[in-house]
Amino acid sequence: MFDYDKTKAWRSGEVRHTFTARDTILYALGLGVGSDPLDKQQLRYVYEKELVALPTMAAVLASPGAWMRERTELGIDFLRLVHGEQGVKIHQPLPVAGTVLGESRVTRIVDKGEGKGAVMHVEKLLKDAASGDLLATAEQVLFLRGNGGFSGGTGGDAPAAALPSLPESAPDAVLELPTRPEAALVYRLSGDVNPLHADPEVAAKAGFPKPILHGLATWGNAGRAVVQLFCGHEPTRLRGIRARLTSPVYPGETLVFEGWRVADGHADGEVAFRVRVKERDVVVLNNGRAQVTG
């Protein structure tokens, strides 16, 4: 039985995470950065010389882990849990190495009704351990497919505002991002070791023909595309990014990023985007929004 009160009160406590330049490089490699080793812009993320961090790495630093599975008293049906949305706001540029502190908490649980699941929002504050400065605020939205109907019709918490729709015009920029067959095996080394992304037998039991790419890897590729197309390759200009995860990606497929500038000509503004798989013409990220600065 799902326990709303205990789940809503869940707090991770302080998670300390020390990471090195090697970890920052490994995260970028997991997204496919460095596929052209002669591209100076890509080398900035995968070579120690003038190394910079991709802002989306904030989502994986100081993670509380698979607490939804470990805290069995909460009653979360972990096997039917789906990552539905991911967002991050960047307050300070991420260092390429250091120690950070993450504190996560459940902020919202919406009951969609019996047989319809529930929606849970989990917020993480990421701070620099030395200075105490807030580096980023990350939020993941999880669809609890097996936990609807817990409120007896009251609905639990009020739903969050829906993500805005995309422009109907042709995109202002398009970028193809091929993924490698071993992409999930590399990306999992940044923290998410769920066997769904590595073990063919586990993937088959979950209904997939083979292991799937991490949703956060697809999302991270969208951030990489925004930095390249709308931030002049300068990662510090990306201040926030959010999107719905709508369909799985299989390693080896080609991601196609489509972006629209919705800033009305101002230096600071917003980018709308989606990502689809070229080979199957399936949208895998939708209703994306990114905040960029001049």
215 is catalytic: yes
According to the model, what pLDDT value does residue 178 have? 97
According to the model, what pLDDT value does residue 263 have? 62
- In one letter, which amino acid is 52? V
From CA 182, how far away is CA 187, in angstroms rounded? 9
**Structure confidence by residue, pLDDT tens digits, 73-122:** 999 998 888 999 999 999 999 999 999 999 999 999 999 999 999 999 99
From CA 155, how far away is CA 148, in angstroms rounded? 9
Structure tokens at 56: 């989306």
pLDDT more than 70, % of the chain? 98
* Confidence category of residue 11, pLDDT binned at 50, 70, 90: very high
Residue 176 CA, chain-centre distance (Å), reads 19
According to the model, what pLDDT value does residue 264 have? 56
Residue 107 CA, chain-centre distance (Å), reads 17
Query: Considering 121, 191, 192, 288, which one is annotated as catalytic?
Result: 192
Residue 11 CA, chain-centre distance (Å), reads 20
According to the model, what pLDDT value does residue 206 have? 87
88 CB-contact burial (10 Å; exposed 0-12 / middle 13-18 / buried 19+): buried
- Mean pLDDT, residues 125-130: 98
276, 284 contact by CB (below 8 A): yes
**Structure confidence by residue, pLDDT tens digits, 20-74:** 999 999 999 999 999 999 999 999 999 999 999 999 999 999 999 889 999 999 9
Q: Which value, to the nearest 10 degrees, does the dihedral of the CA atoms of residues 220, 223, 229, 231 take?
A: -140
107, 121 contact by CB (below 8 A): yes
Dihedral sign for Cα atoms in the order 58, 64, 66, 69:
negative
* Confidence category of residue 155, pLDDT binned at 50, 70, 90: confident
From CA 175, how far away is CA 159, in angstroms rounded? 33
- In one letter, which amino acid is 45? Y
268 is catalytic: no
**21-30 and 215-230 helices, crossing angle to 10°:** 90
Alpha helices per DSSP H over 75-208: 183-187, 200-205
From CA 238, how far away is CA 185, in angstroms rounded? 27
Query: Considering 197, 223, 241, 288, which one is annotated as catalytic?
Result: 197
241 is catalytic: no
**Structure confidence by residue, pLDDT tens digits, 242-252:** 999 999 999 99
* Confidence category of residue 152, pLDDT binned at 50, 70, 90: confident
From CA 192, how far away is CA 290, in angstroms rounded? 24
197 is catalytic: yes
Comparing C-alpha atoms, which of 227, 211, 232 is closest to residue 290?
227
Query: Considering 84, 117, 156, 215, which one is annotated as catalytic?
Result: 215
From CA 280, how far away is CA 174, in angstroms rounded? 17
**Structure confidence by residue, pLDDT tens digits, 158-205:** 999 999 999 999 999 999 999 999 999 999 999 999 899 999 999 999
pTM greater than 0.85 (yes/no): yes
Distances (CA, A) of 73 to 1, 81, 114, 157: 9, 16, 20, 21
Q: Which value, to the nearest 10 degrees, does the dihedral of the CA atoms of residues 56, 244, 167, 249 take?
A: 80
Bridge partners for 256 per DSSP: 176, 276
- Mean pLDDT, residues 13-19: 97
